[in-house]
Structure 1
Amino acid sequence: MQSFDYIVLGGGGAGLTAAITLAEHNQQVLVLNKSEFMETNTNYAQGGVAVVMDPADSFDLHVEDTMNAGAHLNNRSAVEYLVRSGPHLIHKLINWGTEFDRDDDSHGLKLTREAAHSLNRIIHARGDATGQEVQRAMVAKARSMPNITLWDNARTVELIQHEQRVRGACFVREGQAYSATAKGVILATGGLGRIYGLTTNPEVATGDGTLLALYAGAKVADMEFVQFHPTALNALGCPPFLLSESMRGEGGILLNHQGDRFMERYSSMLELAPRDVVSRSIHFERERTGKDVYLQVSHLGADFVRQRFPSIYQTCLGYGLDISRDPAPVSPAAHYAMGGVITDITARTGIPGLYAAGEVACTSVHGANRLASNSILEGLVFGERAALSALEDGRSMMDEECLTREQSLAHGDTMGGIPAAMQEIMWKCAGIVRSQELLEEGMRKITAMNSHYVLLCASIISGALRRRKNIGAHYRTDSLDNGKDSVQYHADIKSLDRFMERYR
């Protein structure tokens, strides 16, 4: 058994920010990433980072945009902390080597706009490869720090607990079982999009961190709020590749099969409506016509399209589609989980020694629906906050002896994979449009399966059944107009076991 000062689970924006922050305080840090270090949700984030950098902008405006997108179910204190911490973290990213796009004339950061933002505040890199550039710079920074140990292809299967405190992790790497102890563990494992049959998320996004926390005694909240990105490429033989929010932010329009712009039928904000509205609009338009829906950017000019969206342009071209000339067929796809492991504004989970940051966590910063491009910002801000909280709590343990005996040891990858049938059921029964009948049908089918991920599905469906009124990303055809919409629904492993028992 190896010992470190701290262990970070996840090598995306939140995890690497936490690790670098800890290392800057002379701590020995182990970072375990489930796959290669470029295979994270951060790496696939195209649009950019929402941050107040323009004198014409203000923290108050960013806060209000975030609250409005989240249907005011957000924790305002968490939102204010997020927004006000943003510029500081962006300057850190730049110091760590991130190269954001700059204006040719002023040489300042180039700003663009995305849906539900009141003005231009999105910074980006290499046009549409912001996440990739952020990930590249952070991995390079972490590799340059001798007190950070980076282990890729390491899947954590259990948290080690000792005297009611999380003190380490058991993990599997290249078929071998390992364990390591520490003064604290930071969860930064990302999202759960792969629980759905159609998703923009990479294969690693299976909600493992949420399951680890539940098994350790933590609580989850807001699990019913799953954001479906409106525009994933829907071409034959192509995976659901994300067509960035910024394409609509720059003036892209949605067309039905007849070439008619249809968003005016569903929202006065047209293509710049919040993601949940646009996703449902596409769903209903496809249902109404029985035909595909398309995203068009060719009217913006071929040179602009190729320069502003180089990665998207090249990827689509590889599938025989020239977006500088032709509209792209699109479909909504599971994209982001607003819910997760409950933390306070300091990233503490309520379980001593366990912290959470990024998409795996629920600070309630997003409320019922995440504002576009707040995700990388959240990972940076609360990744740093988790590290600082862990340092504060760890000071009292400086003179303690290292935990010398193993509390448990993983003998294999007990999580397994998500069954394809489960993904199909979640897409059909707990997807963009839900109902009591569909949700209960889904739960009956899922509880009959033998998989750790049944617990993850149950956390989403139980929240969706309890929330009877439509709000944000949660939409039911049988919504109750007099239903409660301001309550936050919590769950832990005991309450989820009781819920699942009803359907067995």
Structure 2
Amino acid sequence: MTDLCIDLSYDVVIVGGGLAGQALALSVADQKRVLLISKNPLEAAASNYAQGGISAVYGAHDSHEKHIEDTLVAGCHLNDRENTRFIVEGGLDAVQWLIAQGVPFTKDGEDYHLTREGGHGERRILHVDDMTGRGIQQTLTGRLKNHGNITLLEHYTVVDLITTEDGKRCIGVTLLDAMGNARRIAAGATVLATGGVGAIFQHATSPSSTIGDGVALAWRAGCRVANMEFLQFHPTCMYYPGGEAFLITEAVRGEGGLLKRADGTRFMDDYDPRAELAPRDVVSRAIYAEMKKTGQPCVYLDISHKTPEFVRSHFPNIYRICLERGIDITRQPIPVTPASHYTCGGIFAGHDGKTDLEQLLCLGEAAYTGLHGANRLASNSLLECVVMARAAAEAILADHVSIPVLPLPTGGPRALASSKEDFLRLMKQEIRALMWNYVGIVRSTFSLRAAARRLDVIRQEVFALLEARSPCVELIEARNLVITADLIIRSALSRKESRGCHYNTDFPDMATEAEPTVLMPHTDQQSIAA
């Protein structure tokens, strides 16, 4: 759909085309008119790249209490216990809803095959081979595109949330298409399902567009954010210089994969008694330490001691991609390195997605519910997406909110010169390098303050451009990058301990007691530097 009137209205406007957004759209579309907005094709959503699976208490010997305890341990007990219980206990219903949509989870005979991943005490991961995200996304996208009550807009960027004059209620969004044309949409309910902030770092497993758009939008509109310092680095991204990042799923270690140095010796036993099955933050820092010790750019993940039939049947996509890159994983180890992967914090939201603004909801990785605490347990992310989407659908259907009338627009769009777009692309690259080098796996107070000073200079340049001209897509993304990076740095500086994904060499120990880091929105949104 490309020919929009200036003021359109929908019962529900969803920003983001990943699992959370699609699950919500399908859950309300029989009763509501839905607009789903994605700045990329739906196939490019981060959910599409999820390999491992979705965790749920499905096995006979498993229990909610075991799953909750594993989640709390991985999260270093910084989790919100009430929301954690709600989401874990909703796992079976979430899986059954996905099955009813037609998701082809892998079977073992008549039953679904359950795998195990790092941090889980039981086998509770349902999966679609080693391409779970793709299997789910393709299924839901097919249903979504054929639903008469859902309108899909791809290649559109949300510039701002539209709020009431008192700033207490969200009543719609302002969009920008690739040509620089602005559009305003009124909404009975507006939902941010924009994913995390992984690509704010130079090395990331998530798509390059995953830069915290939703966090920046909600923060500017007056919402709290929480726990932005807890950014999970996946320990095993394939090391392949010059090529696209490729995630090696947690399930490889769950099925017996071993981490080794270049000389073939194992090292995880030196760092944690759980060895390769330790939580991701532990494994990532161990790999980082080994790389620092040896001066090597990677370590090696070896599953070749398993039979070739086992490897090919369990990890067909990984086998294929690695073979295309010159590595036969049935005979050779995979070179791997940590990469930015998942955002444990986000926009402050309840388990039903409700935020500080009336009629604004947030779902999935963009939201902070407290489920993940200081570190996400593997495969709890897809679980959170579906459980939250289903709970949000119930809340939206129960609210019976009428579609508001938007205030009159002011001004008009002007195109930004291509030379300025080149400048903005270089600026975004600089932010990513800054975050990787100074706010990465291991931080210090000095590195964080240095990052804040440099980011403040970039911020001034970005906001000077915003004041001078109407926004283009590159400028909006640069603004969102600056805001989100600042929130991460500010959150990291405020935590005087190391816990989960956050490790500060000046405060290496975990405090006896700790609370989530909650940031209140600034009254002056252009003065965001700490």
Conservation of the 8 A alpha-carbon contact between 2:55 and 2:126: yes
Q: Shift of the alpha carbon at 1:237?
A: 2.5
Q: Alpha-carbon deviations, 1:379-418, whole Å to 9, x = none?
A: 111112222223333x1x34x7x41544568737999656
- 307-316 or 431-440, which moves further after superposition? 307-316
Distance 1:500 1:320, change over 3 A: same
d(CA) in 2 for partners of 1:434, 1:487: 20
Distance 1:406 1:16, change over 3 A: farther
Structure 1 runs, 4 residues or longer, greater than 4 Å off: 407-410, 412-418, 480-485, 495-502
Q: Aligned runs of 1:59-98 on 2, under 5 Å? A: 59-98=64-103
Q: Could you give the per-residue CA deviations for residues 34-76 of structure 1, whole angstroms, max 9, x where no partner exists?
A: 1001111110000011111112111111111111100110011
Partner residue of 1:478?
A: 506
Amino acid at match of 1:486: A
Q: TM-score, normalised by structure 2?
A: 0.90
Between the aligned partners of 2:415 and 2:225, the Cα distance in structure 1 is 23
2:225 match = 220
Q: Choose which of 445, 460, 465 in structure 1 pairs with 2:488.
A: 460
Question: How many angstroms apart in 1 are the aligned matches of 2:74 and 2:412?
Answer: 42
Secondary structure of the structure 1 residue equivalent to 2:171: strand
Distance 1:138-1:356 versus aligned 2 partners, 3 A rule: same
- Greater CA drift, 292-301 or 412-421: 412-421
Query: In the aligned structure 2, how far is the partner of 1:33 from the partner of 1:424?
Result: 26
Question: Counterpart amino acid of 1:180?
Answer: I
Indicate the SS of the match to 1:439.
Answer: helix
Residues 90 and 410 of structure 1, relative CA distance in 2, 3 Å threshold:
farther
Equivalent position of 2:195 in the other structure:
190
Instruction: Report the alpha carbon displacement of residue 235 of structure 1 after superposing the two structures with TM.
Output: 2.2
Aligned partner of 2:263 in structure 1 is 258
- Residue 411 of structure 1 aligns with which residue? 413
Aligned length: 494
| 2:456 paired residue among 447, 450, 453 | 447
Instruction: Quote the residue 1:18 is aligned against.
Output: 24
Task: Tell me if structure 1 keeps the 8 A contact 2:10–2:34.
Answer: yes
CA deviation string 1:263-288 (max 9, x = no partner): 01101000000000000000001111
* Residue aligned with 1:254, SS: strand
- Contact 1:187 1:357 (8 Å CA) reproduced: yes
2:116: which partner in 1?
113
Structure 1, unmatched stretches of 5+, are none
Which of residues 345, 364, 368 is equivalent to 1:362? 368
CA shift for structure 1 position 143: 1.7
Q: Which of 167, 171, 180 is equivalent to 1:167? A: 171
CA positional deviation for 1:144:
2.3
Which residue of 225, 244, 248 maps to 1:243? 248
Say if 1:168 and 1:268 are closer, same or farther in 2 by CA, change over 3 A. same
Question: Match of 1:332, as an amino acid?
Answer: P
The whole-number CA distance in structure 1 between the counterparts of 2:516 and 2:411 is 35
Aligned position for 1:133: 135
Contact persistence 1:225–1:337 (CA under 8 A): yes
How far 1:421 sits from its partner (Å)?
A: 1.2
C-alpha distance in structure 2 between counterparts of 1:413 and 1:99, whole Å: 45
Q: Deviations over 1:79-110 (max 9, x none)?
A: 11111111111111111111100012xx1110
Query: Contact 2:236–2:248 (CA<8 Å) still a contact in 1?
Result: yes
Q: Which moved more, 1:112-121 or 1:346-355?
A: 346-355
For residues 323-373 of structure 1, what are the alpha-carbon distances to aligned partners after superposition, in whole Å with 9 as ceiling and x for unaligned? 121111110000000000001233110111100010000011100000000
Offset, 1:481: 4.2
Superposed CA offset, 1:223-245 (max 9, x none): 00000000001123322210000
What is the CA–CA distance in structure 1 between the aligned matches of 2:157 and 2:529, rounded to whole Å? Answer: 29
Q: CA RMSD in A?
A: 2.0
8 Å CA contact retained: 1:5, 1:28 = yes
Once the 2 structures are TM-superposed, how far is the Cα of residue 4 of structure 1 from its aligned partner? 0.7
Larger mean CA deviation between 426-435 and 378-387 belongs to 378-387
> Residue 279 of structure 1 aligns to a residue in which SS?
helix
Farther-moved stretch of structure 1 (405-414 vs 448-457): 405-414
Partners in 1 of 2:365 and 2:414 — Cα distance?
26
| Counterpart amino acid of residue 155 in structure 2 | N
Structure 2 counterpart of 1:80, which letter?
R
| Aligned equivalents of 2:415, 2:371: Cα separation in 1 | 33
Q: 1:437 to 1:91 in 2, by over 3 A?
A: same
Q: Structure 1 140/70 Cα, relative in aligned 2: closer, same or farther at 3 Å?
A: same
Shift, 1:174, TM fit: 3.4
Identity of aligned residues (%): 38
| In 1: Cα distance, 2:76 partner to 2:510 partner | 16
Structure 1 residue identity aligned to 2:242:
G
Q: Secondary structure at the match of 2:159?
A: strand
Tell me the amino acid that sits aligned with residue 120 of structure 2.
H
C-alpha distance in 2 between matches for 1:361 and 1:413? 32
Q: Distance in 2 between matches of 1:145 and 1:83?
A: 29
> Per-residue CA shift, 1:412-441, capped at 9, x if unaligned?
799965611111110111100001011111
Local SS of the residue matching 1:202? coil
Gap change, CA 1:373 and 1:54, over 3 Å in 2? same
Contact kept, 8 Å, 1:210 with 1:340, in 2: the verdict is: yes
Name 1:145's counterpart in structure 2.
147
Could you tell me which residue of structure 1 aligns to residue 383 of structure 2?
Answer: 377
Instruction: State the SS of the aligned residue for 1:331.
Output: strand
Instruction: Name the SS of the counterpart of 1:355 in structure 2.
Output: strand
How many angstroms does 1:496 deviate by?
9.0
Q: Which residue of 2 aligns with 1:229?
A: 234
For the pair 1:422 / 2:431, whether they are aligned, the reply is: yes
- Match for residue 521 of structure 2? 493
Call closer, same or farther: CA 1:82–1:47 in 2, change over 3 Å.
same
CA contact (8 A) 1:170 1:409 kept: no
Q: Which runs of 5+ in 2 are unaligned?
A: 1-6, 463-478
TM-score (ref. length: structure 1): 0.94
Classify 1:59/1:496 alpha carbon distance in 2 versus 1 (closer, same or farther; 3 Å).
farther
Alpha-carbon distance in 1 for matches of 2:410, 2:367: 25
> Partners in 1 of 2:243 and 2:524 — Cα distance?
36
The residue type paired with residue 113 of structure 2 is K
Question: Residue 436 of structure 1 aligns with which residue?
Answer: 445
2: distance between equivalents of 1:499 and 1:269?
45
Q: Residue by residue, what CA displacement relative to the aligned partner does 1:246-274 show, whole Å, maximum 9, x if unpaired?
A: 00000000000111001011010000000
Residue range with higher mean Cα deviation, 110-119 or 203-212: 203-212
Secondary structure of 1:87 counterpart: helix
The answer on whether the counterparts of 2:171 and 2:406 sit within 8 Å (CA) in structure 1 is no
CA contact (8 A) 2:452 2:529 kept: no
- The correspondence of residues 324-335 of structure 1 with structure 2, limited to 5 A, is 324-335=330-341
Distance 1:273 1:496, change over 3 A: farther
- Contact kept, 8 Å, 2:522 with 2:528, in 1: the verdict is no
After TM superposition, give the deviation of residue 161 of structure 1 in Å.
1.3
Contact 1:467 1:484 in 2 (8 A): no
Determine if contact 1:177/1:409 at 8 Å carries over to the other structure: no
- Secondary structure of 1:115 counterpart: coil
